[in-house]
Amino acid sequence: MTLDSWLPFGMHEDPQKLYTALHDGVPEWMEKSMRAWQHEFLLGLFEESDSALSRLHKLEHQLRTAVKVPSNVSSYGLADAVISEFVWHDKELVLTDYLLSIADLEKLGGWEHIRKEIQGGNNRLGRLETTLKEAGSKWTLGVRTAGKLGLVQRVPEGVQTAADETMRSSGHAGRRLAEAWGAAFGIEPDPAKAYGLAVKAVEDAALPKVSLKPNDHGTLGSVIRVLNSAKYDAADWTLGFQREDKHYSNGQTLVAMLKTLWSGQTDRHGGDHELVNGTVISQEAAESAVMLAVPLVQWFSSGFVVESGTSTKLTPE
């Protein structure tokens, strides 16, 4: 039995899914450790500021929250007051996400460096990640909106690793993909924004690889038309595999994936789609779009998508 599969004595059936499911919010068994982390962070924030009250006011402004503070309170008391306010409104994760957003990613060495440091669990961010993981939280640390550190939904580790590598190694397209990921899986998801950014990330990666006509718009639709060719067989493009299906080429597979992403963006044009025709982007669609964008961005950015004439002729199977 591995450590990951260990359960307390008598809990192997786990009917309430306390151990076998991920939990939203701050369950009671995570309250003490979460609040201790918040208090440590807030205490440092207030003590390092020229004016603790001015820093509190900035927090109130940014989070649109009024914190009830006793007169002549110390930095320690300010931290207590802030935590109590967010506990009262059941918004503890909002506070945690905000505190994470304060971190300067560039000064800390970038997300890839931070991710490795977090895995060690010996610094402030690492301790929070350990708390979230040990308590079975559905949330983990990641890059959220505007390139800020924050809470994002936990996904299978292999999927997260592949996505992180694509975001890190794909230049501007990778940075746009990171924003899409945060908008889809962040603590306050924005499905429409996530889907739109996923499309833009693929456009960023694909457009430099294709030759558009002067009148073509720089959109994914134009990329699809170029790849598809006049015969709609995508014969001029392929992927860097050594073999392909004789009935359905790699180029056709690529175009099909691009079409799926492009056609699924139901709110591409103006109007209130939720009221007019019911085509508002769903959370499920946004998450799927971002997941689909990951391999597409990686393929275009890494040179895995090539014109047929510049690649080795594939052996059909």
Domain residue ranges in the chain = 28-137, 192-316
pLDDT value of residue 196:
95
22-42 tens-digit pLDDT = 888 899 999 999 999 999 999
| C-alpha distance from residue 112 to each of 61, 64, 118, 119, 306 (Å) | 31, 31, 10, 11, 28
pLDDT category of residue 18 using cuts at 50, 70 and 90: low
For tokens 């559905």, the residue is 138
What six digits make up the tokens of 296?
């597409």
pLDDT value of residue 97:
95
122-147 tens-digit pLDDT = 789 999 999 998 898 999 998 876 67
The mean pLDDT of 205-227, rounded to a whole number, is 89
What six digits make up the tokens of 169?
């190694």
What six digits make up the tokens of 168?
């890190």
- Phi then psi for residue 150, to 5 deg, are -170, -170
Confirm if 34 and 40 have CB atoms less than 8 A apart.
Answer: no
3-state secondary structure the chain: CCHHHCCCCCCCCCCCCCCCCCECCCCHHHHHHHHHHHHHHHHHHHHHCCCHHHHHHHHHHHHCCCCCCCCCCCHHHHHHHHHHHHHHCCCHHHHHHHHHHCCCCCCCCHHHHHHHHHHHCCCHHHHHHHHHHHCCECEEEEECHHHCEEEEECCCHHHHHHHHHHHHHCHHHHHHHHHHHHHHHECCCCHHHHHHHHHHHHHHHHHHHCCCCCCCCCCHHHHHHHHHCCCCCCCCEEECCCEECCCCCHHHHHHHHHHHHHHCCCCCCCCCHHHHCCCCCCHHHHHHHHHHHHHHHHHHHHCCEEEHHHCCCCEEC
Rounded-to-integer distance, Cα 311 and Cα 236, Å: 10
154-186 tens-digit pLDDT = 888 788 888 888 988 889 999 899 899 989 998
64-88 tens-digit pLDDT = 999 999 888 999 999 999 999 999 9
pLDDT category of residue 92 using cuts at 50, 70 and 90: very high
Cα pseudo-dihedral 134, 139, 144, 149, rounded to 10: -30
Mean residue pLDDT across the chain: 86
Rounded-to-integer distance, Cα 181 and Cα 85, Å: 29
Q: Specify the pTM.
A: 0.74
pLDDT above 70: residue 222: yes
pLDDT category of residue 314 using cuts at 50, 70 and 90: low
pLDDT value of residue 155:
85
pLDDT category of residue 268 using cuts at 50, 70 and 90: confident
pLDDT value of residue 3:
44
pLDDT above 90: residue 108: no
Confirm if 183 and 193 have CB atoms less than 8 A apart.
Answer: yes
Confirm if 83 and 39 have CB atoms less than 8 A apart.
Answer: yes
pLDDT value of residue 2:
40
